[in-house]
Amino acid sequence: MAKRRSEEPLDSVAIASPANKKARVEEVVDEALPIPPPPPPDYETTQGHSAENEDADTDEDEGTGGEDVAGGAALRQNAPLEGYSDLYLDTINRSVLDFDFEKLCSVTLSNINVYACLVCGKYFQGRGPKSHAYFHALEVDHHVYINMETKKVYVLPEGYEVHNKSLEDIKYVVDPKFDEEEVRKLDKVPKEAVELSNKRYRPGYIGMNNIKANDYLNVVVQALSHVAPLRNFFLLNKFSPTSPQLPVRFSTMVRKIWNPKAFRNHVSPHELLQEIALRSSKKFTLTQQSDPVEFLSWFLNNLHLTLGGSKTKPMSSIIQLAFQGKLRLESQAITAKSDATGDRLRFEESSNISINTTPYMILTLDLPPTPLFRDAVEDKNIIPHVPLTSLLQKYNGIQASERQAHRVRHRLLHPLPPFLMFHIKRFSINKFVSERNPTIVTFPSPIGLDMSPFVEPNPSIYPPGEPIYYELVANIILDTINVATGGGEDSNAADAANKAVGGEGDKVAWKVQLRDKAVANSQRSDLPEWVEIQDLFVERAEAETLFTREGYLMIWERRKEKSKGANGTTNGVGNGKARA
């Protein structure tokens, strides 16, 4: 049966839609919570943000490697909303922040445009919408970051800069700054500080982390950071961005050692070690023990060159101004001839004596050889002693030493440098055996070493007969520790590069003894004048017992005194009676 046709076409009939169902639960509005204002005019999306939000070094383009999130729905701001300027600052965790390590992105290992998360302490590259710091903020809800170069603090993912005085302590720890007045007081006014955990420490006398086997570097850096002209130069000098990294990182290390606002009472030389390993072609690393004197010689020479010093022109850098002196060297050849019978050899000295003047920065002192045989009644544990002045006779111009086929005499020349470094040669090595000489070097007083008997008189520079006093600043010592497993590569790791530890199963640990001149000048009895540091351990040391340890490298400072010369005028040199 055929269908009946409709009276009206369907498209001409208006069909009303059913009404929407109302929600059964009524909306609850909390009157106590303020309704956030609408976004300001400078509120932008990630698709249309401008380059004004980023640093001049193209932060948006650095560290890219992800995709836009939510199709560009994330928002970017030039400034925080009104009333929200301190948002997220309470999430900063200062106890986990450690800026001593090399500034490398934890994902890309790049050192370009690095930001540190102030919540977990990790490094990331860039802060743009495709950067690793941006995604870190979205994934783990960490929002506050600091640029390690500009020291600017930003909130991510919004991207605006934070201007808050509560962040000044973090910026100071990242890169401590000193002015001339603060540096002038370092050796005059003793100072104590408090770290985050309420532990007291003394700026300049803090421990250094021994990552694996870098204690040889720790003691050298500690000693150099107490050489006043060198310390003051690296505390105050501002290096350009194009400066070589070796002096820049050493300057950062010195400023962190003397930092009075540190979060911890120790520092890590990791960043400096990375640059040293690179420049030395991995001759000096944090995993392989080395000789402190060998490292010191390399380090001073490279610092001199990177600071613009010349290889031929003397006194062309702060390094040479502090340590370099002149030495007269007399060399006389020795020949061997047979006698008339031909059975014996006769050693004759040549009549020709060559005299040369050579510069020096480190003076080597030779210890007398230890006796091969001991008396039957002598205690085998007795350690021989020798005065420091006896070792310095090598430089009196009279005592001769044998060097290959020559007889050599040494004589120091005026003017003596402000600082003298003595290397006490304890290690000897040949093809068959390596030995360590445990002889103790004694000195009557750490503040009264007279060097005038070992210097060639020069009336035009210094009045003859006047004493030249030096005071001990730093003393690098070694200490043998018996380990359970003797022999092998690991147990002899600290044998100072020449594989000599003095006995199987012994390990050498390097320490440094430092003098606090501020305490000495103020004559405070509650603080020690001498401090002994081994890695993270800082202990009190007594001046009367300094010589009882096996000294390896000594740094002595010339006493600043004024006296009248032969013509009765003040020449600025010492007479041993009054201090300047």
Confidence label for 262 from pLDDT (cuts 50, 70 and 90)? very high
Q: What is the mean pLDDT of the chain?
A: 79
Tens of pLDDT, residues 185-234: 999 999 899 999 899 999 999 999 998 889 999 999 999 999 999 999 99
Checking if the pLDDT of 576 tops 90, the result is no
3-class DSSP state of 39: coil
Range with the poorest average pLDDT among 246-255, 331-340, 481-490: 481-490
Task: Choose between 26 and 559: higher pLDDT.
Answer: 559
CA dihedral (106, 110, 115, 121) positive or negative: positive
Residue pair 424/328 in contact (Cβ under 8 Å)? The answer is no
What's the whole-number mean pLDDT along residues 442-453?
A: 88
The rounded Cα 110 to chain-centroid distance in angstroms is 22
The verdict on residue 551 lying in a domain is no
Task: Choose between 330 and 47: higher pLDDT.
Answer: 330
Checking if the pLDDT of 301 tops 90, the result is yes
Final residue belonging to a domain, choices 286, 301, 316: 301
The verdict on residue 383 lying in a domain is no
Could you say which DSSP state residue 271 is in? H
Checking if the pLDDT of 4 tops 70, the result is no
What's the pLDDT at 146?
A: 95
Tens of pLDDT, residues 335-381: 666 666 656 655 565 667 788 899 999 999 999 887 666 555 555 55
Tally of structural domains, the chain = 2
d(CA 174, CA 101): 11
Predicted TM-score (pTM) of this structure = 0.79
Tens of pLDDT, residues 483-504: 443 333 333 334 443 344 344 4
**Contacts for 117 with CB less than 8 Å, ≥ 6 apart:** 123, 124, 133, 136, 142, 144, 145
d(CA 235, CA 252): 8
What's the whole-number mean pLDDT along residues 113-138?
A: 93
Checking if the pLDDT of 512 tops 90, the result is yes
What's the pLDDT at 345?
A: 57
Checking if the pLDDT of 101 tops 90, the result is no
What's the pLDDT at 447?
A: 86
Final residue belonging to a domain, choices 173, 205, 233: 173
CA distances from 474 to 321, 341, 363, 514, 516 (A): 18, 57, 15, 5, 10
Q: Same domain for 238 and 273?
A: yes
d(CA 443, CA 62): 59
Residue for token digits 């770290």?
A: 195
Helix or strand holding residue 135 (H, E): helix 132-140
The verdict on residue 125 lying in a domain is yes
CA distances from 363 to 44, 420, 438 (A): 67, 8, 19
Q: Same domain for 180 and 211?
A: yes
Residue for token digits 């973090």?
A: 170
For every residue of 323-360, DSSP letters joined together read H-EEEEEEEEEEEEEE-TTSSSEEEEEEEEEEEEEEEE
Range with the poorest average pLDDT among 94-98, 308-312, 387-391, 402-406: 402-406
3-class DSSP state of 483: coil
d(CA 352, CA 345): 21
Checking if the pLDDT of 92 tops 90, the result is yes
Confidence label for 333 from pLDDT (cuts 50, 70 and 90)? confident
Q: Same domain for 147 and 211?
A: no
What's the whole-number mean pLDDT along residues 71-76?
A: 53
CA-wise closest residue to 219 among 510, 504, 437: 510
Q: Same domain for 48 and 109?
A: yes
Task: State the amino acid at position 544 in one-letter form.
Answer: E
Residue for token digits 């009524």?
A: 26
Final residue belonging to a domain, choices 126, 146, 173: 173
CA-wise closest residue to 253 among 275, 238, 268: 268
Confidence label for 241 from pLDDT (cuts 50, 70 and 90)? confident
What's the whole-number mean pLDDT along residues 400-418?
A: 85
The verdict on residue 526 lying in a domain is no
Task: Choose between 379 and 93: higher pLDDT.
Answer: 93
Tens of pLDDT, residues 519-567: 988 877 888 899 999 999 999 998 888 888 899 999 999 998 654 444 4
Could you say which DSSP state residue 189 is in? S
Q: Same domain for 191 and 265?
A: yes
Q: Same domain for 106 and 199?
A: no
Burial class of residue 219, CB neighbours in 10 A (0-12, 13-18, 19+):
buried
Range with the poorest average pLDDT among 7-11, 313-317, 319-323, 563-567: 563-567
Q: Report the CATH number at residue 241.
A: 3.90.70.10
The verdict on residue 350 lying in a domain is no
The verdict on residue 273 lying in a domain is yes
Confidence label for 572 from pLDDT (cuts 50, 70 and 90)? very low
Confidence label for 246 from pLDDT (cuts 50, 70 and 90)? very high
Confidence label for 59 from pLDDT (cuts 50, 70 and 90)? very low
Q: Same domain for 182 and 260?
A: yes
What's the whole-number mean pLDDT along residues 254-276?
A: 93
Residue pair 271/101 in contact (Cβ under 8 Å)? The answer is yes
Tens of pLDDT, residues 126-174: 998 889 999 999 999 999 999 999 999 999 988 889 988 999 999 999 9
What's the pLDDT at 491?
A: 35
The verdict on residue 417 lying in a domain is no
Q: Same domain for 238 and 133?
A: no
3-class DSSP state of 231: helix
Checking if the pLDDT of 432 tops 80, the result is no
What's the whole-number mean pLDDT along residues 283-290?
A: 90
Q: Same domain for 197 and 103?
A: no
Q: Report the CATH number at residue 151.
A: 3.30.40.10
The verdict on residue 93 lying in a domain is yes
CA dihedral (248, 254, 260, 261) positive or negative: positive
d(CA 180, CA 382): 50
Q: Same domain for 118 and 199?
A: no
Strand partners, 469: 450
Neighbours of 171 (CB within 10 A): 15
What's the pLDDT at 480?
A: 72
Instruction: Quote the domain boundaries for residue 85.
Output: 44-173
Residue pair 178/235 in contact (Cβ under 8 Å)? The answer is yes
Q: Same domain for 183 and 152?
A: no
Q: Same domain for 154 and 206?
A: no
What's the pLDDT at 229?
A: 95
Residue pair 105/125 in contact (Cβ under 8 Å)? The answer is yes
